[in-house]
Amino acid sequence: MDDQAHAARAMWNQLHNLWQMTPKCQRSLSRMDQTLRQARKEIDWYAVLPAQAAQAVLKTYMQAWKNCWDGRAEEPTFKARIRSVMSVDIPQGRDLQIKRVHRRWGMANIPKVGRVRFRWTRDLPVGKAADKENRITGARLVKDALGWHIAFRVQTLELKPEPHTGLEVGIDAGVNLPLALSDSNHQDHGRAPRLPDGTADRDKLLNPDEKAKLLRLEQRAAHRKSFRKPRERNANRLRTTYDQIKQLRARATRRAVDWQHQTTTSLARTYGTVVVEALTITNMVKSARGTVEEPGKNVRAKSGLNRAISQEAWGRTVTMLTYKTARFGGTLHKVPAPNTSRRCSACGLIAPGSREDQATFVCKNPDCGWEGNADHNAARNILHLYRMGHALIPAAGRAVARRTRGVKPTTAR
């Protein structure tokens, strides 16, 4: 599977080079397909990748350009060996030959690999349960620091959900409090986001033993790295230490994604209308280092804040809420972000200095004096903007694209 993933990555890069070298008037899917077939005949190590998986690479590359032209993504780029996620597509579901061994494990056939077993985490339409309207259409193999995983593509017929009659809620995404709700039903993952010295905790989803192990591994890696000469390859022991660090990081990421899935599902079931801020996260996590002529201030503190924002993955939370609210018959709206954290939700006053610290909001109006959690105050302001009719309308092209994509298919990992 490693060989197939590397072959798929190399094929993507060669398709990208061919696309850039070909004049715009001669670019076409048929030309790319013909070149791909010829390359499989002339390059021996391409044979390790099944023909259908190679065609899937071409389709994925062309879809990436369509997403770019529609404004949904950036341009496709070169896939580096270190920074790229190793993955292989299995576009035909009939090739998998899935069989359930017992309650916890199942077996699947991987082309040019053989029979492998996978952890059975949710029901799949196999055997008598499979028909034309409910069946497995393919899968994707993905590798991370914890090993290989398989995600099945399931085609199923879902009835149009009834309109959700739940309450309205405003949600503010934060660092100290991951999700603050306007009705005080805040969602927290139960880990302290700050260390005793006030700095951000990068590993808040790891238990104390795992944090201690991670600290030992980082110290060991730093010690072994000190013996490496400039432009010299990492030693095997240093690479092994790096792999162990990646495993702990991947475990924390998996726990964060699991918490997001459970939390967003609960919110989509409970509330009929969910309102969030329209945040530009890429601008929020820009470095404050500045230039040589004009160096930035509080660079270290801003770096820790950027790292904490990236770990909370606010964009992924909004994406989950978008399709889950639609699945349960609800709606998700976005409102402008300016002044939601500075405005008093009780009297409406916007005054400087109301945020005495990161977690507390104190109204400067002598007749009001409201005091409370800053994220809770922002969540109430977000809901207020929606009720006042300030919800943003998405662009026409993106709105059409979201409607045509439909409900996100269920996957088993």
Mean pLDDT of 264-292: 85
What's the CA angle centered on 398, arms 394 and 400, to 5 degrees? 105
Structural domain contains residue 203: no
Give the count of alpha carbons within 13 A of 66, CB side only.
9
Structural domain contains residue 413: no
Tell me the average pLDDT of the chain. Answer: 84
Confidence check: pLDDT of 173 > 80? yes
For residue 125, give the nearest of 324, 408, 411 by alpha carbon: 411
Structural domain contains residue 303: yes
Tell me, yes or no, whether 290 and 324 share the same domain.
yes
Tell me, yes or no, whether 133 and 181 share the same domain.
no
Q: Domain range holding 151?
A: 92-155
Going by pLDDT thresholds of 50, 70 and 90, the confidence category of residue 201 is low
For residue 188, give the nearest of 394, 373, 371, 344 by alpha carbon: 373
The rounded distance, in Å, linking the Cα atoms of 339 and 350 is 7
The rounded distance, in Å, linking the Cα atoms of 171 and 185 is 10
pTM (2 d.p.): 0.80
Predicted confidence (pLDDT) per residue in 377-412, tens digit: 889 999 988 988 888 876 443 433 333 334 444 444
Higher-confidence residue of 191 and 199: namely: 191
Structural domain contains residue 348: yes
The rounded distance, in Å, linking the Cα atoms of 114 and 288 is 51
The domain boundary residue, chosen from 40, 60, 89 = 89
Predicted confidence (pLDDT) per residue in 132-158, tens digit: 888 999 999 999 889 999 999 999 888
Q: Which amino acid is at 246?
A: K
Tell me, yes or no, whether 97 and 140 share the same domain.
yes
Confidence check: pLDDT of 127 > 70? yes
For residue 57, give the nearest of 110, 5, 6, 11 by alpha carbon: 11
Rounded percentage of the chain residues whose pLDDT exceeds 70: 90
Judged on CB neighbours under 10 Å (0-12, 13-18, 19+), 319 is middle
Structural domain count of the chain: 3
Confidence check: pLDDT of 104 > 70? yes
Tell me, yes or no, whether 81 and 99 share the same domain.
no
> If you write DSSP's letter for every residue of 206-238 in order, what string do you get?
S-HHHHHHHHHHHHHHHHHHTTPPTTPPPPHHH
Tell me, yes or no, whether 71 and 178 share the same domain.
no
Strand partners, 142: 87, 149
Sheet holding 114-119, edge to edge: 99-100, 105-110, 114-119
Tell me, yes or no, whether 145 and 172 share the same domain.
no
The rounded distance, in Å, linking the Cα atoms of 239 and 224 is 10
pLDDT number for residue 212: 92
End-to-end CA distance of the chain: 17
Which residue, chain included where needed, has tokens 């094929």?
Answer: 11
Mean pLDDT of 166-194: 81
Structural domain contains residue 368: yes
Distances in Å between the Cα of 384 and the Cα atoms of 169, 278, 348, 390, 411 are 10, 15, 10, 9, 36
> Biggest alpha carbon distance in the chain?
81
Structural domain contains residue 232: no
168 backbone dihedrals φ, ψ, rounded to 5° = -95, 145
Highest averaged pLDDT of the listed ranges 256-270, 283-297, 307-321, 385-399:
256-270
Helix (H, G, I), strand (E, B) or coil at 350: strand
Tell me, yes or no, whether 363 and 297 share the same domain.
yes
Mean pLDDT of 240-254: 92
Q: What is the DSSP letter of 199?
A: -
Distances in Å between the Cα of 132 and the Cα atoms of 1, 126, 136, 137 are 30, 12, 10, 10
Q: How many CB atoms lie within 10 A of CB 200?
A: 19
Tell me, yes or no, whether 75 and 61 share the same domain.
yes
Tell me, yes or no, whether 96 and 183 share the same domain.
no
Predicted confidence (pLDDT) per residue in 64-97, tens digit: 999 999 988 889 999 998 888 899 999 998 889 9
Structure tokens at 43: 């390059």
Higher-confidence residue of 311 and 84: namely: 84
The mean-pLDDT minimum among 2-11, 132-141, 346-355 falls in 346-355
Contacts made by residues 188-197, CB under 8 angstroms, sequence distance 24+: 189/256, 189/259, 193/308
The rounded distance, in Å, linking the Cα atoms of 375 and 65 is 39
Tell me, yes or no, whether 395 and 381 share the same domain.
yes
Structural domain contains residue 252: no
Tell me, yes or no, whether 272 and 383 share the same domain.
yes
149 backbone dihedrals φ, ψ, rounded to 5° = -135, 155
Structure tokens at 90: 């299995």
Report the chain's C-alpha Rg in angstroms. Answer: 25
The domain boundary residue, chosen from 74, 89, 104 = 89
Structural domain contains residue 243: no
Q: Do the strands 147-155 and 135-144 form a parallel or antiparallel pair, or are they unpaired?
A: antiparallel
H-helix segments, 43-102: 51-69
Tell me, yes or no, whether 77 and 100 share the same domain.
no
The domain boundary residue, chosen from 72, 89, 106 = 89
The rounded distance, in Å, linking the Cα atoms of 25 and 261 is 45
Q: Do the strands 105-110 and 114-119 form a parallel or antiparallel pair, or are they unpaired?
A: antiparallel
Mean pLDDT of 264-284: 89
pLDDT number for residue 292: 65
The rounded distance, in Å, linking the Cα atoms of 70 and 140 is 25
Higher-confidence residue of 191 and 274: namely: 274
Distances in Å between the Cα of 300 and the Cα atoms of 195, 294, 359 are 15, 16, 20
pLDDT number for residue 318: 92
